[in-house]
Structure 1
Amino acid sequence: MTPMMRTNNWIPAVFNDFFDTDYMPRANCTAPAINVKESDKAYTVELAAPGMKKEDFNVHINDEGNLIIKMEQKNEKKEEDKSVRYLRREFSYSKYEQTLILPDDVKKDAISAKVDNGVLTVELPKIVEEKAKISRQIDIL
């Protein structure tokens, strides 16, 4: 049995080239990739967001103690020419929100975040429990 590919022939293929151009790019409906690493001292969350700037992100902890990562980017291409009127303007809008449930051993008041080369990195330091030393001198009665 050979696999069969189905196509919608009610729209001519010539429109594929028309709709997939620099003037009308295809919508990207994928979520950014997230990596979570753990070391002895911290958890590290990395979120890939090429082309995004620091101003496009919002990272906070909600009332339930969960980490909320939001990113939103709006682009509007405008060409200002007063002698013509616009029949079409192009907008680009992307929005993403992710909620991460934090482990109990995260020090929530020391969380930090930075953006570098299109990657948001959130550092989640762990609570370090110092083990009390139990060595002591015992008096003999």
Structure 2
Amino acid sequence: MSRGSPFDELERLLDKMNDARERAGGGLAVDVRDDDEQFVVVTDLPGFEKDDIDVEVRDRTLRIDARHDEEFGVDESDYVRQERSKRSLSRSVSLPEDVDDDGAAASFENGVLTVELPKLHTSEESTSVDIE
């Protein structure tokens, strides 16, 4: 039975710690699905608008930031009770394989963000190199 490198185990532990921290702090919960040719990441962002969300892919890491813009001109003395808060959420997800950053696509519908990340395939075939 083959074991991965110590760095693979360290990455898994860091992911578990990040997941636990996000759950404890009410952060973003994500589903990451492997569809052979791409990873599909889905997260619920109820109450946010498309313009409130930033998605970035870099070095096998997907980062999602969602934040409400501050409302200007609202007189807080008009409120009898105010329990909803302006909040920001963020999450970084390490991906198990390299992805094509330029081919990434995201959609947002009914409070659900879906990010599609095509896998970056390296050729298994050898290439002949001419010697000059």
Instruction: Please give the TM-score of this superposition, normalised by the length of structure 1.
Output: 0.56
Letter aligned with residue 73 of structure 1: H
In the alignment, structure 1 segments of 5+ residues that lack a partner are 1-28, 81-85, 133-141
CA contact (8 A) 2:68 2:87 kept: yes
1:118 aligned onto 2:111:
yes
CA distance in 1, matches of 2:101, 2:89: 23
CA contact (8 A) 2:55 2:62 kept: yes
Give identity over the alignment, percent. Answer: 30
**Structure ranking higher in helix proportion:** 2
CA contact (8 A) 1:114 1:122 kept: yes
Q: Which runs of 4+ in 1 moved over 3 A?
A: 74-80, 86-91, 128-132
Instruction: Please give the TM-score of this superposition, normalised by the length of structure 2.
Output: 0.59
Structure 2 equivalent of residue 103 of structure 1: 96
Q: CA deviation digits over 1:10-51, x for unaligned, max 9?
A: xxxxxxxxxxxxxxxxxxx62233111111111000011112
Between Structure 1 and Structure 2, whose CA radius of gyration is higher? 1
CA distance in 1, matches of 2:77, 2:46: 31
CA contact (8 A) 1:76 1:92 kept: no
Q: Compute the RMSD of aligned alpha carbons.
A: 3.0
